[in-house]
Amino acid sequence: MSEAEDTTRDRVIDGRYRILRKVAEGGMATVYEALDERLNRHVAVKVIHTQLAQGPHRAQFEQRFRREAQSAAAIANPHIVQVYDTGLFKGLDYLVMEYVHGISLRQEMGRQGTFTLRETMRILGEILDGLSSAHQAGVVHRDIKPENILINDRGHVEITDFGLARATSQATLSSTGMLLGTAAYLAPETIEDNQATTQGDLYAVGIIAYEMLTGAVPFAGQNPVTIVFKHVHEDVPALTRVCPGIDPSVSDLVSRLTRRSIEGRPKDATQALTELNRVQRGLDMQALQFIVPAPEVPVPEAGADDLQTTAAASREASTPAQTDQHDATIAMDQPVSPISPVPVPPQESGRNLAGSADPMGTRRYLLNHVNPERTQVMPAMTTDQARTVQGGNDTHVQGLQTGTAHLAQYAAILPAGSGNPKGRKHRGLVITLIVILVIALAGGGGGAWWYFFGPGSYRILPKPDDVACAQDQDCKVIGADFAKYARTLKVSGIDVDTAYDYSDRVAKGAIMAADPDTVGARVSKRTGRLNLTVSKGVRRATVPEDLLTAGTPEGKDPEKALRAAGFSRIDHDRSKDQYSMDVPEGAAISVDPVPGTTTRHDTRVTLVLSKGRMPVAMPDIVGKSKEETNAALEALHLKVTYSQDWSDKVPRDTVISASHQAQEQLHWGDTVSVVISRGPQVITMPDVKGRSQDEATRILEGYGLRVNISAPLGNLTHTVRFQDPNPGSQVRVVTGDGSPSVVTLTVV
């Protein structure tokens, strides 16, 4: 148990985060699942190891730890793990992060081996989307690898571990004097010059793409130095070389991401994401289904136990040790010197990347299960023998020989049963039956052969009238008008199974697929059917009527609604999204074509979404006139309510105070309360002469005045005879220094 675990176990950090269990432990920190008791949500708490917090390099590790919080917190993107809080607990730095339910991409790689091109492009797109926000915020991750790519339980990517992140303005890492990262994913400029670049993150993404599609990183070795040397001096192999059949545009994209020169790669993740989307739009369904097959396990020559052993060995060979190529994080005082290569030990690959089948597989099976010494072939009849059987009629000699040859093929793989009387008996019985069948066919004359093996057993697929075929080439029925061809097939007596599907290339009503599809193909009269797929034409879709109404289901998620309606080309450029006073964030401001339009499903639909109300800073309006205040707040689309109050310091009709401080962040449409000065409070002095001292004092103090009693002749009657200021005069309630005005009462 680590010291960090012992320190935090069964504890509540800062009276808020209750530790539930340890999730993972790395070289720098331990991660726990915890419950935020204040917000009642599960979070991940990352606590630095005690030995690092108290070691000689404490400041360096704490700086990296805190940088992770600052870097991640500066990025707002659903594909970046959010950081909620940071603090110090018993001398140990900790982070509070989003708790992601799911697994890492590394675990998913271990489970799947290789990925389809569709899934690879989707995951790469989400990684680049997250990095795009990071790069726009001026942050370079520097440690992109499958271990730091999380796949949540909804299947979406979330990037974590910004401990090595740096600002893009810090072009080199000389401040630490160290080269940090994972060897299998390090960019050449990071190895040679210690440069932290956005293109370095893209290089790592390209290596991940290569690994997802092929099942292995391009450079591997027993020594991390060997691996980094290869990154500096060797080009990443093109995917078309290791994945035959993959679309060349995908190979070109991965090659561009993994160019050794920085200039050869996209400038940042935003540009890379644009290129990926352009490539993906050019791929059809068949291209997206591409996947490198799983490694073939050869059929053993021994029993089932050997088969299991061979399969296990194959798995071990196809999965290199994690420390060899995936988790080899290196730290070097100087960049790698490109002087002489470190010898690379030969590697054994347990994976057939091309997925080609062993052409000798069937032969090995037969050799293992059929003893060639016990196998005999029934000789075919000669022409004379066939003529004799036919009674001198050689019309069907060729068909008889053909049928005999087919039957002989089955006899060729029957065990002779040497040493086994029962086996010999069965073999003799089978051969006897074959001979009897051959004689029966021959004795039955040409009619029997014609019905079972000849032209009477099948129908010929006819040529459609509306299909032109070149001479000496296979003629396909694809493109024929189904309604016309169906009549031809009916006359021919061929049974048809018909399915319908949309097609962007084949006209409506035409045949888009057939099995068999070649004119002249044989369709068995007894068991055969012609399977046709008829085009329904181009799929059409309608822009939902309520797409611009934010409160409807379609309006809440416009992109999802358009895809559900059947549109396949949705153009949403986030840089063109707009702030809006009225349209909530994420709802559509405009769509082209307009709602209600019905068009082809592959028509480009341009969508502009709302970014919600724009954030604005509260202006400094204290001391400003009401007119100036109105202009400043209206320019920021802020609502304002006014009230008035007396003030002896603020001139009349100017602002005394506001409900929000200057520079406080607000949003369009927020309400600001403003207090306007009525100037100093002035009253008309009441007449209190003749009243008792107590009553006069109570009246004057009720106006906020201070009373001074003067009794030069003694105070026998407690009656006011004189007052100063005189009744009816205008008196300020508060003087210029902020104290109440004084009224002097003379009593007798």
Is 36:16 a contact under the CB 8 Å cutoff?
yes
Dist CA 611 CA 607 (whole Å): 13
- The counts of H helices and E strands in the chain are 24, 31
Interhelix angle 198-214/117-136, nearest 10 degrees: 170
State the CB neighbour count (10 A cutoff) for residue 137. Answer: 15
Residues 285-312 as b/e (b if ≥16 CB within 10 A, e otherwise) read eebbebbbeebeeebbeeeeeeeeeeee
Q: Quick one: which of 579, 577, 591 has its CA closest to 549? A: 591
Q: Quick one: which of 563, 562, 590 has its CA closest to 576? A: 590
Q: Is 403 helix (H, G, I), strand (E, B) or coil?
A: helix
> SS3 letters for 675-703?
EEECCCCEEECCCCCCCEHHHHHHHHHHC
Question: Between the CA of residue 387 and those of 379, 438, 440, 454, what are the distances in Å?
Answer: 16, 13, 14, 18
- As given in the structure block, the two tokens for residue 492 are 């021919």
When computed from its CA atoms, the radius of gyration of the chain, rounded to whole angstroms, is 43
| Cα end-to-end distance, the chain, whole Å | 92
Q: What strands lie across the sheet with 706-710, from one edge to the other? A: 706-710, 742-747, 720-724
Q: What angle do CA 408, 411, 413 make, to 5 degrees?
A: 120
The amino acid present at 545, given as its one-letter code, is: E
For this structure, is 143 an active site residue?
yes
Is 324:246 a contact under the CB 8 Å cutoff?
no
Is 6:47 a contact under the CB 8 Å cutoff?
no
Question: Between the CA of residue 492 and those of 481, 489, 516, 532, what are the distances in Å?
Answer: 17, 5, 15, 16
Question: Going along 359-483, which residue ranges are E strands?
Answer: 458-460
Dist CA 68 CA 46 (whole Å): 11
Residue in the structure block whose two tokens are 């049974």: 495
What is the helix (H) or strand (E) element at residue 364, kind and residue range?
A: helix 361-369
| Phi/psi at 67 (5° precision) | -65, -35
What is the helix (H) or strand (E) element at residue 110, kind and residue range?
A: helix 105-112
Contacts of 117 (CB under 8 A, 6+ apart): 213, 246, 247, 250, 283, 287, 288, 289, 290, 291
Residue of 6, 85, 129, 143 with catalytic role: 143
Q: Quick one: which of 627, 648, 629 has its CA closest to 740? A: 648
Dist CA 663 CA 184 (whole Å): 47
Contacts of 555 (CB under 8 A, 6+ apart): 546, 547, 548, 549, 561, 587, 588
Residue in the structure block whose two tokens are 């193909």: 521
Q: Active-site positions?
A: 143
